[in-house]
Structures are given as C-alpha cells and as structure tokens.
C-alpha cells in the first residue's frame, strides 16, 4: 500500500491533484481511496487530501507516521503534516509561502525559510520546488497543483510515472484546461531535473 | 465494467438510481450536498429532482411521492433533520407505500456544522430503522438495501453516512443496471390521515415492529461478528474502519462486532458477540449509541460483561475518531504498550481561520453597515452561510449566529430587551427562503424595530452554488419564475425596502443609514453575485509610489488578496477579483484598476 498526502490552503487545488493520483493508480488496476476537506475550510483554511493506493487500506485517513510522500503546497502546511510522513518518506514542497490573512493584519508573517530549514533537518528526501517561478512560466497561479504532481512524479516519489500522470490528465481534464495543465506538469518536472531544485 | 473513482455521496446517489429511485429532493448542507447533485447529473430522464426550499418541505414532498408508490429519497445534513423533525415524527406513524429513504449526513468534528448531534438518536426517537455505512463502497450497496427494507416494512428508513464516508472517494465497480419501479399512484385511504385514534393504533404496530426488525437485522449482510477471545470490540460507521486498521497495525484480532444498523439493534447478533466475553470496548463517533445498547443488553440478559467507551471515559466523547485514537484506545484496552511518538515537536504554525474570499461581495456589505453605524450602538445578528465568516477580524460583524433563519428573530429578542440599540439581522438569499420569511413576518406583526440586511449573491454559496427560489433555475434544468425577495418583503408589509450594490460603497452606506433611521422593520437588499458564479473583473494593483503603507485597506477589509511587502501593500493578482472595494477605501488613491 502507498499513502500520499497533499497539504495546502483552501483554493490551491489539492482535491484535483489527489483525484489525478488516485485515477492514475486505478488505470494501473490498483484500488484507490481518497479523503478530502470540503466545506468551510475550503475558504482559506488548512486543507489536506489523503490518497491511499492498494487493497489493504481500511480507513479513508492516512494514519500518522505512514505517508510515503507528503506534497506540501506551501511550507507551513508541509510542516503541519510532517507527523504523517513515515520514516524515510519523501516530501515535495512548494517554497512559496501562503501567508494567512491574520499575518497581514497583525503585521507578523510566519517565517517560511525557518519552516524549510526545519524540514531540511528532518526529511531525508526533500524536494523543494520554486512554485512561484513555475506558475509564472505557465502564466497562472492555479496550476501549482499539477506542477507539484509533475515534480513528485519526476522525482520518482509517487507510485506512478510522469507519463501515467500525464495520460490521466489528458483523459480526465476538460479540453479547455488541458494545454495549460500539461505545460504545468512539464514545468514541474523540469523544476526537478533542470537544476531549479533547491 | 470498469471501476470508477466515486465520492461516498456520489455512490449514494448512483446507488439510489440503481435502486430505481423516482423522486429525489433535499436542501444543501455539508457534508450531504453532492448526493442530490449526483442524481441530477446522472438523471436518466425519468427521475424528478429538486432542491426544496428547506428540509421540512423536502421531507413532506418525498413523503407524498412515496405515498403514491414511487421510491423517494430526501437528503440533508444533520441539522436539517431538526428542521424536518415535525414531518419525520408523524411520518413514522403513518408510514409509506413506495420505498422512502431519508439520507442524513452527520458531521463528527464538526468539520462544517453547528452541532455534533447524532442522527442515530433521531432513529431511536422516531423508532425508524437506520443504516450506518462504513465506507463509500458499503454506502453504494446500502442505499439499495434501505429502499428494500423501507418497502418490506412500509416505513421510511434513515441512512446516516458521516463526513468521512460522504467525502471519501473509493474505486467502485459500477453496474449500470436499474431497478424498474412503476408507481401505482395514490390510492385514497383513511390510513394517510393522521388522527389521535390512528396514531394510537399505529403506535402499537410500530412498537411490535421493533423487535421484528432487530431480528431481521441480526442477519443483515453488513452486520457481522468475527474473531474470538475474552475481549471484544464493537464499532459502527467509519469507526469500524479505524478500528480494523488499528488492529491490523498491531497484529491483533479480538472478537469484533461491526454494527451497520444501530437501530433497531440487532439483538440476537449482539448476544452472540457478547457470549463468553469479559470486556467490550466500543468505538463510535458522536454519542454512545451502540455502547448504551450493549449496556442495556447486558442488564436485560444478566451478562457479566464490562462495556467500555464514552460513558466510562475510555474513549473521547467529542470530535471525530481516527486510526490513531482507535489505536490508543485499543492498546489500552488490550493491555498493550502505547506507541511512543518519535516525532520532534513542530515549530509554531500559522493559524488559518477560514475567511471570505477575495472579492466576496459580503465583505463590502459588512463594511458598508459597519461604516454606517460607526459610533452608534448596534448589534449585528448573523446567520448560516458564507457570511458567517463576517465574524472574522477585521470585519467583526457577526455578534450572534445560532441556526438557519435565527438571525432575524434573535435580533427581535435582543431589541426588546435593549431598545436603544439598532438591531441588524444579516441573512443570505437561500437562508431567507429557507426559514427567514416567518421571522420577518414576526417582526412586522409584533412591530419590532429591526434592520434586515439581505445578502443576495444569487446562489447558495457555502455548499457549492446550488440554485434556490430566487435564482429562477431548477435541478431539472428548467427556468422557473424567480421569487423576488423585495416583492416578498413588500407583501409581508415591510415598509422600507431598498436595494443597493454593496460594491458601490458610498451608495451602500447611504442605503444602510436611511434604513436604520426608519421606525419599524426596514430592509436593504445587497445585490451582488458570488464571485464563483461570475466572471472576475479587471484586477486592481497598488501604486507603490502613492502607497504610504498606512495599511488602512488591510486593517479594515482583511481581503486575502492583500499582503504587506516591505511596508507597502501588494495585491496578489491571481486572487484579485476586481471588486474595487480596496480602491474605494484607500485614502491616498493608491489603488487603481486594471493591473499594469
């Protein structure tokens, strides 16, 4: 069984990313379960998607210490989900912080570099992605989710290949969003191979 | 047939279609909403689907359809059943002809609800059978079973999924077959008219049915007893999945009782579980329903079995369960060592309370009322919807929030005790139709001074943009007559009804001031569509030269698109919807339209 956790802030598109992983696994004949955060938290709160691949998942939620990979859509949410990562597990994290509205109000933003440093000390396989740069290349901030999938698949930390993710995106996404998302997938993968990995 | 990734709610909707459902209605509410939407999306053409005005209307409409022999399903969240409890209780006596399943989604946590109430109590209270699925896969099968039981016993049946089942996805093999049901039509009979005498007779029948159903459920396919030993675990709903996962983690397999029908309790099966046991640990969410049934059975049958759970303090009595909580409770129950946490403490993490979206017209409406009432004594009663988020700093414009429609009436009570305050009641368009109107009539009739602020964003936003009577669209894809909120208020007798665009702050503030000065009930309808159902306008940007860093925009609006960078405000272009409110608030004219 493989457990993949996606952690971000409401509006970043974790739900779609988790669906793509689950559907890519199903295309390989594997069974998949996901659990999503839907409701009030979708409006700027913390959101976590759980994806469990394989027959032996009883419950929808990934227990602590058992995630093979955590994809953090921003640094603090990645740290929040660190307790779920299993020993030796991998993390893919977008380095661009999403500050809560409360940070602008109080004038004290959280220290994103500090969060990343914390992760560097504790995660063996940490793949940092300059999410802001990748989104700039694609001309949209809405593709961070697919870009992170590209990075994760390219780094070999997902239970499927980049090609399998790409095929699933081609199959499941509406035509009008396809080219932008394929571009984001490639840019995310490129961010790992092209030396932009930090 | 290929497997599909379906959400638990989709599984229930598709399972209902497979079971030949012909009439589906409900009111949106997290975590139940997608059930009805799934039926509408996959409607083969012969299923009638509607969003009803509220859960009571939905329950009654579904009952009518079932009286006429159709298979009917009504969907709602747990607090919706409170609204529909009047028809529910009477219908339990009257019964149905066609199968009727009442799907009520409970929300342990709670994740998106006002209460952590347990619908299994409503099943006991109304003496109706209830099914409690452990997973989306089981829910898909169970909804069909629920229809069969409903027809077999001619009674409405409850299906009670919880959030993790509703919003979990699973790969499920879908067969496209569909049961063919041809409703016989309504046959006139005195049995459909509730009278005290009929109630007495039917009460006896309902009581006689309880043990029969309990016996029937003892051989129901999703109730099961497995394993052996002196210690047993009983669990229901998703907690059974957590318990199984925790047991697999620790390699233990004690006697296990999975309860899929908590009411009427499957007594014979439960006794086979209790036989030979010394102790039982019960894992369930919300209230100790299974636990109480087991305690009762031990008393009734003089069994020397110790039952442990919420009542004894062995499991948590609030919030949702998890594999971790099940693991810890089971380890302590079996006398195993607790797992040690290898995790180092985390650094302090940012708190992320949910907020109104960037560009949300509610922000402007709240701001306008706040500006109009500056320096005056005013109380702001809120209601249920996205606009509950108006309570967050810096708006801080929701002083009370209780339940659907309560803002209008709570404001009246507040005003009678403290008449020198201006009492505002905020209500969304969908909530206005749901339970808001009687409250307004109450104020008009009793001549209580309140200022009603209707936040009309042309949709039911919080639950994912469902149509409602004011939108003029139905779930059958038809265009219907729009019910006009201003017309309704006028007809009720609200003397002063104004409409304003909240995104035009000056006019909005003036409209509020005018309404607040009126004696009696006055109303301002703020009309501006939800950003999710409209196209974004040109985005706004801050001229760094002109920005003095006074932060007034951030301090007063709290828009998530606005951040502070090097003591200057910056608008995140990917989040800006171009509402222009920040530009209207900036005292230095530093915010302009159309990003460069």
pLDDT of A41 > 80? The answer is no
CA B334 – CA B253 distance, rounded (Å)? 11
pTM of the full structure = 0.95
Q: Are B8 and B135 in contact (CB under 8 A)?
A: yes
End-to-end CA distance of chain A: 29
Percent of chain B with pLDDT over 70: 99
Residues B318 and B387 in one domain: no
Asked if B338 has any chain A CB less than 8 Å from its own CB, the reply is no
- What's the pLDDT at B595? 47
B135 contacts in A (CB within 8 Å)?
60
pLDDT of B375 > 70? The answer is yes
Tell me whether residue B356 is in a domain.
no
Nearest by CB: A59 against B169, B241, B351: B241
CA A6 – CA B217 distance, rounded (Å)? 40
Q: B543-589 pLDDT, tens per residue?
A: 999 999 999 999 999 998 998 888 899 998 888 999 999 999 999 99
Inter-chain residue contact B169 with A107, CB threshold 8 Å = no
Give residues with Cβ within 8 angstroms of A27, minimum separation 6: A164, A167, A168, A171
Asked if B177 has any chain A CB less than 8 Å from its own CB, the reply is no
Nearest by CB: B347 against A37, A44, A114: A114
Inter-chain residue contact B111 with A65, CB threshold 8 Å = no
Give residues with Cβ within 8 angstroms of A102, minimum separation 6: B350, B351, B352, B353, B393
Give the neighbor-by-neighbor strand order of the sheet with B279-283.
B224-226, B255-259, B231-236, B279-283, B306-308
Provide the chain A residues 29-48 that lie in CB contact (below 8 A) with chain B: 31-46
Inter-chain residue contact A40 with B30, CB threshold 8 Å = yes
A43 contacts in B (CB within 8 Å)?
354-357, 386, 389
**For range B390-395, the mean pLDDT:** 92
Provide the chain A residues 87-116 that lie in CB contact (below 8 A) with chain B: 87, 99-105, 107, 109-110, 114-115
CA B510 – CA B516 distance, rounded (Å)? 10
Residue B1 pLDDT level (bands cut at 50, 70, 90): low
Question: Where does a domain end: B174, B198, B216?
Answer: B216
Residue B396 pLDDT level (bands cut at 50, 70, 90): very high
Inter-chain residue contact A60 with B245, CB threshold 8 Å = no
Residues B49 and B24 in one domain: yes
pLDDT of B596 > 50? The answer is no
- What's the pLDDT at B13? 98
Residues B105 and B154 in one domain: yes
H helix runs in A123-198, sequence order = 131-138, 144-154, 162-172, 175-193
Burial class (CB in 10 A: 0-12, 13-18, 19+), A121: exposed
CA B202 – CA B196 distance, rounded (Å)? 10
Nearest by CB: B30 against A19, A39, A65: A39
Give residues with Cβ within 8 angstroms of B507, minimum separation 6: B500, B501
Tell me whether residue B155 is in a domain.
yes
Q: B118-157 pLDDT, tens per residue?
A: 999 999 999 999 999 999 999 999 999 999 999 999 999 9
Provide the chain B residues 423-442 that lie in CB contact (below 8 A) with chain A: none
- What's the pLDDT at B573? 86
Tell me whether residue B243 is in a domain.
yes
Asked if B346 has any chain A CB less than 8 Å from its own CB, the reply is yes
pLDDT of A195 > 70? The answer is no
Residues B7 and B109 in one domain: yes
Instruction: Locate B387 and state its tokens.
Output: 């606009």
H helix runs in B280-417, sequence order = 289-300, 323-334, 361-372, 406-417
B246 contacts in A (CB within 8 Å)?
63
CA B37 – CA B31 distance, rounded (Å)? 12
Residue A194 pLDDT level (bands cut at 50, 70, 90): low
**For range B309-313, the mean pLDDT:** 98
Q: B343-367 pLDDT, tens per residue?
A: 778 999 998 888 899 999 999 999 9
Residues B64 and B127 in one domain: yes
A41 contacts in B (CB within 8 Å)?
111-112, 354
Only one residue has tokens 């093979």, namely: A68
Mutate one of B106, B352, B387, B398 to test the A interface: name it (highest A CB count within 10 A).
B352
Residues A122-156 as b/e (b if ≥16 CB within 10 A, e otherwise) read ebeebbbbbbeebbebbeebbbbbbbbbbbbbbbe
B238 contacts in A (CB within 8 Å)?
59-60
Inter-chain residue contact A59 with B111, CB threshold 8 Å = no
Residues B209 and B60 in one domain: yes
Q: Are B371 and B389 in contact (CB under 8 A)?
A: no
Average pLDDT along chain B: 95
Tell me whether residue B439 is in a domain.
yes
- What's the pLDDT at B29? 96
CA A53 – CA A70 distance, rounded (Å)? 14
Percent of chain B with pLDDT over 90: 91
Q: B199-216 pLDDT, tens per residue?
A: 999 999 999 999 999 999
**For range B223-233, the mean pLDDT:** 97
Q: A119-163 pLDDT, tens per residue?
A: 999 999 999 999 999 999 998 888 999 999 999 999 999 999 999
CA-nearest of B85, B127, B80 to B105 is B80
Q: B505-549 pLDDT, tens per residue?
A: 999 999 999 999 999 999 999 999 999 888 888 999 999 999 999
Asked if B584 has any chain A CB less than 8 Å from its own CB, the reply is no
Query: Domain of B228: which CATH number?
Result: 3.40.50.920
- What's the pLDDT at B31? 96
Residues B137 and B106 in one domain: yes
The structural domains of chain A, with segments of one domain joined by +, span 2-193
* Closest residue of chain B to A8, computed from CA coordinates: B352
CATH number belonging to domain A2-193:
3.40.920.10
pLDDT of A107 > 80? The answer is no
**For range B325-346, the mean pLDDT:** 90
Q: List, as one string, the DSSP characters of B481-525.
A: PPPPHHHHHHHHT-SEEEEE-TTSHHHHHHHHHHHHTSSS-EEEE
Inter-chain residue contact B356 with A43, CB threshold 8 Å = yes
pLDDT of A198 > 50? The answer is no
Query: Domain of B500: which CATH number?
Result: 3.40.50.970
Domain of residue B566, residue span: 540-593
Question: Where does a domain end: B216, B244, B264?
Answer: B216
Residue A102 pLDDT level (bands cut at 50, 70, 90): confident
Residues B554 and B520 in one domain: no
Query: Domain of B560: which CATH number?
Result: 3.30.70.20
- What's the pLDDT at A44? 80
pLDDT of A75 > 50? The answer is yes
Residues B91 and B62 in one domain: yes
Inter-chain residue contact A26 with B31, CB threshold 8 Å = no
Helix (H, G, I), strand (E, B) or coil at B557: helix
């Amino acid at each position: 069984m493989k457990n993949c956790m996606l952690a971000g802030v409401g509006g970043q598109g974790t739900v779609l990313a988790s669906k793509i992983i689950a559907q890519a696994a199903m295309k390989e004949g594997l069974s998949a379960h996901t659990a999503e955060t839907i409701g009030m938290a979708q409006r700027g709160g913390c959101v976590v998607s759980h994806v469990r691949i394989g027959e032996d998942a009883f419950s929808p939620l990934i227990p602590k210490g058992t995630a093979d990979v955590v994809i953090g859509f921003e640094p603090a949410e990645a740290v929040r989900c660190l307790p779920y990562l299993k020993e030796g597990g991998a993390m893919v994290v977008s380095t661009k912080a999403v500050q809560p509205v409360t940070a602008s109000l109080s004038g004290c933003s959280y220290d994103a570099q500090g969060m990343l440093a914390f992760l560097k000390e504790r995660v063996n396989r940490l793949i940092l992605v300059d999410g802001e740069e990748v989104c700039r290349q694609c001309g949209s901030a809405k593709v961070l989710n697919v870009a992170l999938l590209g990075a994760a698949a390219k780094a070999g930390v997902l239970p499927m290949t980049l090609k399998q993710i790409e095929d699933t995106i081609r199959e499941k996404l509406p035509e009008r969003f396809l080219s932008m998302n394929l571009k984001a997938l490639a840019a995310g993968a490129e961010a790992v191979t092209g030396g932009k990995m930090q | 047939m290929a497997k599909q990734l379906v959400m638990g709610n989709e599984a229930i909707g598709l399972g209902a279609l497979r079971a030949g459902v012909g009439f589906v209605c409900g009111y949106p509410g997290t975590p139940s909403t997608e059930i009805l939407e799934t039926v509408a999306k996959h409607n083969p053409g012969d299923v009638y689907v509607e969003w009803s005005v509220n859960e009571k209307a939905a329950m009654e409409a579904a009952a009518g359809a079932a009286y006429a022999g159709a298979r009917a399903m009504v969907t709602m969240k747990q607090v919706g059943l409170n609204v529909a409890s009047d028809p529910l209780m009477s219908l339990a006596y009257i019964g149905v002809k066609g199968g009727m399943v009442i799907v009520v989604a409970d929300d342990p946590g709670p994740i998106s609800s006002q209460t952590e109430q347990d619908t299994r109590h409503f099943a006991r209270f109304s003496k109706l059978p209830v099914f409690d699925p452990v997973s989306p896969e089981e829910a898909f099968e169970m909804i069909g079973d629920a229809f069969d039981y409903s027809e077999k016993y001619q009674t409405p049946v409850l299906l009670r999924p919880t959030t993790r089942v509703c919003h979990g996805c699973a790969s499920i093999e879908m067969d496209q077959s569909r049961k063919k049901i041809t409703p016989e039509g309504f046959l006139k009979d005195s049995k459909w008219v509730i009278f005290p005498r009929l109630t007495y007779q039917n009460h006896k029948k309902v009581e006689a049915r309880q043990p029969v159903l309990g016996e029937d459920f003892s051989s129901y396919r999703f109730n099961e007893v497995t394993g052996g030993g002196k210690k047993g675990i009983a669990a229901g709903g998703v907690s059974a999945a957590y318990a199984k996962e925790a047991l697999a983690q620790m390699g233990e397999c004690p006697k296990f009782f999975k309860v899929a029908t908590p009411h009427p309790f499957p007594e014979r099966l439960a006794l086979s579980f209790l036989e030979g046991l010394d102790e039982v640990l019960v894992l369930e969410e919300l209230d100790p329903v299974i636990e109480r049934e087991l305690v009762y059975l031990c008393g009734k049958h003089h069994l020397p079995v110790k039952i442990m759970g919420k009542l004894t303090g062995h499991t948590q009595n609030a919030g949702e369960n998890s594999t971790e909580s099940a693991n810890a409770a089971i380890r302590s129950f079996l006398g195993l060592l607790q797992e040690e946490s290898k995790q180092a403490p985390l650094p302090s993490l940012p708190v992320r309370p949910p907020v109104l979206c960037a560009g949300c017209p509610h922000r402007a409406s709240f701001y306008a009322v706040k500006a109009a009432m500056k320096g005056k004594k005013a109380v702001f009663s809120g209601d249920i919807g996205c606009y509950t988020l108006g309570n967050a700093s810096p708006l801080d414009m929701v002083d009370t929030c209780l339940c659907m429609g309560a803002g209008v009436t709570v404001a009246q009570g507040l005003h009678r005790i403290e008449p020198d305050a201006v009492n505002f009641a905020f209500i969304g368009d969908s909530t206005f139709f749901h339970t808001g109107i009687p409250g307004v009539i109450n104020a008009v009739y009793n001549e209580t001074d309140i200022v009603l602020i209707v936040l009309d964003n042309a949709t039911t936003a919080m639950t994912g943009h469902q149509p409602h009577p004011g939108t003029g669209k139905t779930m059958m894809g038809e265009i219907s007559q729009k019910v006009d909120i201003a017309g309704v208020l006028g007809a009720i007798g609200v003397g002063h009804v104004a409409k304003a665009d909240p995104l035009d702050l000056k006019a909005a503030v003036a409209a509020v001031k005018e309404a607040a000065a009126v004696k009696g009930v006055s109303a301002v309808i703020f009309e501006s569509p939800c950003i999710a159902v409209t196209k974004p306008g040109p985005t706004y940007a801050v001229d760094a030269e002109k920005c003095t860093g006074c932060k007034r925009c951030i301090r007063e609006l709290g828009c998530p698109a606005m951040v502070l960078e090097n003591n200057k405000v910056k608008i995140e272009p990917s989040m800006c919807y171009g509402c222009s409110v920040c530009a209207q608030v900036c005292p230095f004219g530093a915010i302009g339209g159309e990003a460069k």
